[in-house]
Amino acid sequence: MATTSKPGIFQRMNRFIRESWLELKKTSWPSPDELKKSTLIVLVAILVVAIWIGGLDYLLGVSTSRLLNW
């Protein structure tokens, strides 16, 4: 009966790091202008969602306190 041994943990880690590095070389990184625009879009989206959640929290808090006569 032939047994095939599994590669050791260090061999697997080395292979993972080597393959990850090769994939990173294939990646197209954004230009500084694209990065600034994307960051601005994300910050605006976060602000909109924060205002929305804050407004809902306020409205639900007011309506709940009036229903419970607090």
With a CB cutoff of 8 Å and minimum separation 6, the contacts of 7 are 15
At position 4, the amino acid (one-letter code) is: T
Q: Which 8-state DSSP code applies to residue 3? A: -
Single pTM value for the model: 0.60
Q: Are 32 and 39 in contact (CB under 8 A)?
A: no
Q: From first to last of its 70 residues, what are the pLDDT tens digits of the chain? A: 556 788 899 999 999 999 999 999 999 989 999 999 999 999 999 999 999 999 999 999 999 988 887 6
At position 41, the amino acid (one-letter code) is: I
* C-alpha distance from residue 48 to each of 6, 35, 42, 60 (Å): 51, 20, 10, 18
